[in-house]
Amino acid sequence: MTSSITDTPEAENASQPLSDADPQDASAPTAAQSPSDKSSADQSPADQSPADQSYGEWTKLSPLSIIHFTLVPIYKFLTQGLQGLLPLFAVILTAGDKRWLILGIIGLVGSVLLLIFAVLSYLRFRFRLEGDQVHIEKGVLNRKVLHLDFDRIQSVDFQEPLYFRPFNLIVLKLDSAGSMTEEVKLGGIKRALADDLRKVILARTAAKAASATVPIAQKEQQTKTAEELAEETAAAAKPLLSLSTDELIRYGLSNNNIWVVTGIVGGFLPQLQPWEWGVFQAIGDFGDQNFGHLVYGLQIFVALICLLLFFLLITASVIGAIVSQYNFKLSYNQDGRFHRSKGLFERVETSVPDNKIQSVMFKRSWMAHLVNRWHIYIKQVSFGYAQAQQQARGGDSLLIPSAKDDFVTQLQSIIYPDFKLSDQFNPIAKRYMIKRLLYIFLPIGLLLSIPFFLNSAIGYYGLLWWALPVVCAPMVYLRWLRYGVQLHDNHGVIRSGFLGKKYTVFPLFKVQKVSVVQSYGQRKSGHATLNISLAGTRLSVPYMDLKDAEEWRDRILYKVETSSKNFM
Amino acid sequence: MTDFINDAIEIDTIPKASTLSYEPLSPKHVKSVVIPALLFLSIPLLILSVLTITVGKVTFDKTWWFYPIYGSIALSIMVYTPISVRKKGYALRDFDIHFRKGVIWQQTTSLPYNRIQHVEVVSGPLDRYFDLAAVKIFTAGGGMTDMEIPGLENDRAVEIRDLVIDKAAKARAGKLTADENSAVDAEQVYDTSEVSHDQ
């Protein structure tokens, strides 16, 4: 028994604003193309935009999109499907003399099928603009009909992969709120067409957003058409930030990804097959032979190898940063849109209307502190299931990899004009430290000391684990120090961190859900944990004073409920 | 110099969520939680008993300790569940809905109507036997349920769903006002003078 709010586009399916037609409907493709749909004369003047005249008709992608349709499945297969087929390859490789033949046949058949599939994908793909929606029909085996409201579009991306560059073709990607299953991509259209589409889509979104905040009396005076708006604002783009390669190197050096990769490699090592250990054996033997006779020779050798690996990782991170963020340019349109372009091999341009921004996170890891830069994440809407995939792709946030202090201030004043960050952060209760040490580190220490009681051969060293809370106390103190909050009239700021720090600024009216949690001890001492959910981010502050947490909750609810603005 | 009056948003005039009075869940909810739990728990117990009686190797003197453990688990379920259900409650205001739960960790979640994307009424198989249902509310925050009010009488669940959807639609259209009346409202007890922090 599902009931939805009927005046929103999500009404058809739970959390799915895109409506997918059943495969059964595909048997009657004419259902979607009744002649009356195509004629723009049927639309009321209010719906009509100049683009409708050109794009109201079904349009196909460029024939070169076949390249795109060939390469994308290969890429997907390599990144996702390969693990599944590795056993198959293993079997084939051990099949004796015939194995190359078998592999060859499989390769050939696979390529032919892929090519057929790509050509069919191109033939079956078409799109158009209708009213306030983008209509797309695609699919070879499963025919899909997608209708996407302009309103739901959070950002417009241009992707220019290497193989499209010589032809001046673009992959137009529309990020939509709530799309869990379908990515909306036009894979291979001429740049001019892409520019036009983006103008129309964003102008419409901006116009709607602007009109949503204008009091009713003034709405009647709005006479500008979407086209006029688009033209006005295209000329008014103001460049904000342009990152040189030097800045990207700083980002590569200060990026937490290094540790992530280290973690992955570290986790991967134990899984190596015995024959791969031979490499490590060889290294070990080498070290032993040449340095083993020196005092601590072997240890130093191992340490040097580790340093070398670390250095390699840093280099990889820097190279990755340069490739993905190359020639980073950020500009701001007077109409309220951020444009970001970046990328070395694949050039990506993203447009994000600023009313779609849910929150902004300013991060400064300890390494970033060393190079004196901030990493900024402009966060948009994201929904649960798609989130994991999006994180893998680099997130639903717009990343500004390397920003100086004054740019941070400048960006805040653009996105949140009526907000000014205060120097003063309100701390959380000191009790937080005691509780963490007492309820987390002490039990861990006690647990780790159990072997001493079971096996007396360990000696009294086993009891040293009891000192774990003491040893960890400085770290817990640091974490406590980083926690801080600011409650402004219309914005909230929540800061946290450990060695580095990060703080998130968000307008109160964009909050989705607030919850206040109290443990038994906190009920006695008058503290609480505050959890704030935005559309795609969850913020949490432990050990606030209960009164403060309640004040946050009441103020947030008040702002959300009295705001007439759309949060997305 | 003229007096410069700059009234901040007076904290005192903003409604306080802490003074809400929470509606309890249906008492039948306790049974609808305990019974499936005990049934589920009894499966291993049954298997063990059958094995003990039939198979020679599995003797009572080796496995006796199983039964008290199971007994205490069952007992704690029967003791804990009523407490846990008693601690749950929901409250509807003009512009938002709240749900409170938790025995050791007490959590109060607040959802403004104008952030609600959709609402579901869900009944598990045993719920239907007791004529109970749960209300699940979703916001734009994620694919998972943002608020779940279990153990409601089916009629009440439907009422709440309809009310919330109605309020949410009005709120999004900018037409929600404080003097909305509805059938459910009339039955709600809004006693803002009561402080409802249970211990």
- Per-residue model confidence (pLDDT) at position A335: 78
HSE-CB at B62 with a 13 A cutoff on CA atoms is: 10
- Per-residue model confidence (pLDDT) at position A83: 63
Task: Assess contact for A397 and A448: CB atoms under 8 A.
Answer: no
pLDDT by 10s per residue, chain A, length 568:
344 433 333 333 333 333 333 333 333 333 333 333 333 333 333 344 444 445 778 888 888 888 888 888 887 777 666 666 666 766 666 666 677 787 788 888 888 998 999 999 899 899 988 888 888 888 888 888 888 888 778 788 898 888 888 888 999 988 776 544 556 888 889 888 888 888 888 877 666 655 555 444 444 444 445 445 445 545 567 888 999 888 998 898 887 666 666 666 666 655 555 555 666 677 767 777 776 666 666 677 778 888 888 888 888 888 888 888 899 999 998 878 899 999 888 888 888 888 889 999 999 988 889 889 999 999 987 654 344 444 434 346 889 999 999 999 999 999 999 999 999 999 999 999 999 888 888 888 888 888 777 776 666 777 788 888 888 999 999 999 999 999 999 999 999 998 899 999 999 999 999 999 999 999 999 999 999 998 878 899 999 999 999 999 999 999 998 887 777 7
- Per-residue model confidence (pLDDT) at position A406: 93
- Per-residue model confidence (pLDDT) at position B103: 93
Which DSSP string corresponds to A260-301? HHHHHHHHHGGG--HHHHHHHHHHHHHHHHHHTTSTTHHHHH
- Per-residue model confidence (pLDDT) at position B1: 52
Q: Are residues B143 and A383, on separate chains, in Cβ contact within 8 Å? A: yes
Is B178 at the interface with chain A, CB within 8 A? no
- Per-residue model confidence (pLDDT) at position A328: 93
- Per-residue model confidence (pLDDT) at position A182: 58
Q: For residues B24 and A534, what is the distance between their CA atoms, to the nearest angstrom?
A: 28
Altogether, the residues listed in chain B come to a count of 199
- Per-residue model confidence (pLDDT) at position A387: 44
Minimum CA–CA partner of B10 in chain A:
A555
Closest approach of B55 to chain A, Cα-based (Å): 36
What tokens does A485 get? Answer: 């909050």
Cα-Cα end-to-end distance for chain B: 53
Closest approach of A1 to chain B, Cα-based (Å): 6
Q: Are residues B117 and A515, on separate chains, in Cβ contact within 8 Å? A: no
- Per-residue model confidence (pLDDT) at position A278: 65
Closest approach of B41 to chain A, Cα-based (Å): 29
Best of A10, A216, A387, A515 to substitute, by most chain B Cβ atoms within 10 angstroms, is A515
Q: Are residues B110 and A383, on separate chains, in Cβ contact within 8 Å? A: no
Residues within 8 A of B (CB atoms), A 360-419 only:
381, 383-385, 387
- Per-residue model confidence (pLDDT) at position B21: 86
Average pLDDT score over chain A: 77
Q: What is the pLDDT of residues A244-272, one digit of tens each?
A: 888 998 898 887 666 666 666 666 655 55
- Per-residue model confidence (pLDDT) at position A376: 94
Q: Are residues A513 and B147, on separate chains, in Cβ contact within 8 Å? A: yes
Is A5 at the interface with chain B, CB within 8 A? yes
Extract the runs of DSSP E, i.e. beta strands, from chain B: 23-24, 89-92, 96-101, 106-112, 116-122, 132-139, 147-153
Q: For residues A117 and A140, what is the distance between their CA atoms, to the nearest angstrom?
A: 7
Closest by Cα among A17, A393, A348, A32 to A194: A348
Q: Are residues B140 and A381, on separate chains, in Cβ contact within 8 Å? A: yes
Q: What three-state secondary structure class fits A395?
A: coil
Q: Are residues B140 and A567, on separate chains, in Cβ contact within 8 Å? A: yes
Q: For residues A95 and A398, what is the distance between their CA atoms, to the nearest angstrom?
A: 49
Is A8 at the interface with chain B, CB within 8 A? yes
Residues within 8 A of A (CB atoms), B 102-141 only:
102, 104-123, 138-141
- Per-residue model confidence (pLDDT) at position A427: 94
Closest approach of B98 to chain A, Cα-based (Å): 9
Q: For residues A185 and B159, what is the distance between their CA atoms, to the nearest angstrom?
A: 42
Q: What three-state secondary structure class fits A47?
A: coil
A273 or B151: which leads in pLDDT: B151
Is B41 at the interface with chain A, CB within 8 A? no
Minimum CA–CA partner of A535 in chain B:
B141
Q: What three-state secondary structure class fits A57?
A: coil
Per-residue CA distances from A356 to A216, A430, A563 (Å)? 22, 37, 15
- Per-residue model confidence (pLDDT) at position A205: 67
Out of B9, B15, B142, the one facing A489 most closely (by C-beta) is B9
Q: Are residues B121 and A177, on separate chains, in Cβ contact within 8 Å? A: no
Which DSSP string corresponds to B21-60? -PEEPPTHHHHHHHHHHHHHHHHHHHHHHHHHHH-SSS-H
Give this prediction's pTM.
0.73
How large is the average pLDDT for residues B92-100? 91
**Using alpha carbons only, how large is chain A's radius of gyration in Å?**
28
- Per-residue model confidence (pLDDT) at position A544: 95
- Per-residue model confidence (pLDDT) at position A554: 92
Q: At what angle do helices A297-325 and A257-268 cross, to 10 degrees?
A: 130
Task: Assess contact for A502 and A364: CB atoms under 8 A.
Answer: yes
Q: Are residues A554 and B17, on separate chains, in Cβ contact within 8 Å? A: yes
